Amino acid sequence: MSTASTVVPTHPRPNTNTGLSNGFIGIMCFLTSEMALFGSLIFMYLYVRRAAPVWPPLIPGLAHGVHQYYERFDWHLPTVNTVVLLSSGVTMHFAYQALRRGNIQRTLFLLVVTIILGIGFLSGQAYEYKHLKDVAFSTQTYGATFFLLTGLHGAHVTGGVIFLLTVLIGTLRGKINQGNDMVFHAATLYWHFVDAVWVVLFALFYLTVPIS
């Protein structure tokens, strides 16, 4: 086994035209398609927002305008949630590095921490959803766009957590190891992607609500 400080490639360069494995290019293509999906929905949000005469749209029956949303969109919990998710990205990164060095114990530990942080993020989101009054999915577009985008993201995080659990089992069984790490690498890339999307959504929904 190689020493901990050097990363020695233990598998040969794949026998492909580009030298990159099929799986790696495949996962990058998949993530590109996911970016296109989120991209189109983010475009949708920006378009609706710009085209609306007043943003957020007035809730039928309520007198005041923007303040109510800002109060409800208390930024404390979402910020904590963001830190949790981004931390999980860091732990995942080091988990993969540990795998490449052959340090399975460290890999497993960091992977479990990542999963816990991921579940923590999802719990935070669930709590946030419950506490948003008057921001409904069907009464006006502010709620509709918010829930659609963060909901889709949450679904992706959930899928990601399941993916990580599968990877955990694979690593425990020894099927995923230093010589066979494509799936782990794919999971890492996916997890980073989910993080990146969240950063964008956090900026769009929580950092740019207008205050009058």
Partner 1 sequence: MAATALGLDSHHDMHAQHGSQSWVRRHIFSTDHKVIGINYMLTGFVFFIVAGLLAEAMRVNLAQPGSKVLAPDVFNQFSTVHGSAMIFLFTIPFLVGGFGNYLMPLMIGAGDVAFPRLNLISYLLFPPGGIIMFVGFLLGGAAQAGWTSYPPISTQTPLGMPHDYGQICWLLSVIVVGVSSTITAINFLVTIVNMRAPGMSYFRLPLFVWAMLVTVILTLLVTPALAGGLSVQLMQILFGAPFFEPSKGGNVLLWQHMFWFYSHPAVYIMILPAMGIISEIIPVFSRKPIFGYKAIAYSTMAIGLLAFLVWAHHMFTSGVQPWLEVYFMITTMIIAVPTGIKVFSWVATLFEGKLRLDAPLLFALGFVSTFTLGGITGIMLASVPVDLHEHGTYFLVAHLHYVLFGGSVFGIFSGIYMWWPKMTGRMLNEKLSKLHFWCMYIFFNTTFFPMHIIGLLGMPRRVADYDPQFGTWNLFISLSAFILGASFLIFIYNAAHSLVYGEKAPPNPWGGRTLEWATASPPPHGNFATIPVVDSLPYDFTKPAPFFGVRDGAAHDDASHAHDHEVQEG
Nearer to partner 1, 25 or 83 (CB): 25
Angle separating helix axes 104-130 and 141-173, nearest 10 degrees: 160
Spatial distance between the Cα atoms of 36 and 158, rounded to a whole number of angstroms: 19
Q: How far is the CB of 13 from partner 1 (least distance, A)?
A: 10
Nearer to partner 1, 56 or 118 (CB): 56
Residue position matching structure tokens 């740019």:
208
Tokens of 24: 């790696």
Nearer to partner 1, 31 or 119 (CB): 31
Residue position matching structure tokens 């009054």:
133
From 64-72, 134-142, 158-166, 186-194, span contacting partner 1 (CB under 8 A): 134-142
208 belongs to the binding site for partner 1 (CB under 8 A): no
Nearer to partner 1, 5 or 18 (CB): 18
Q: How far is the CB of 40 from partner 1 (least distance, A)?
A: 4
Spatial distance between the Cα atoms of 159 and 34, rounded to a whole number of angstroms: 13
Q: How far is the CB of 69 from partner 1 (least distance, A)?
A: 12
Asked if 12 and 18 touch (Cβ cutoff 8 Å), the reply is no
Q: What are phi and psi of 94, to 5 degrees?
A: -70, -25
Q: How far is the CB of 61 from partner 1 (least distance, A)?
A: 12
Asked if 164 and 114 touch (Cβ cutoff 8 Å), the reply is yes
Q: How far is the CB of 79 from partner 1 (least distance, A)?
A: 26
Contact letters (x/-) for partner 1, 10-49, by CB under 8 A? ----xxxxx-x-x--xx--xx-xxx-xxxxxx-xx--xx-
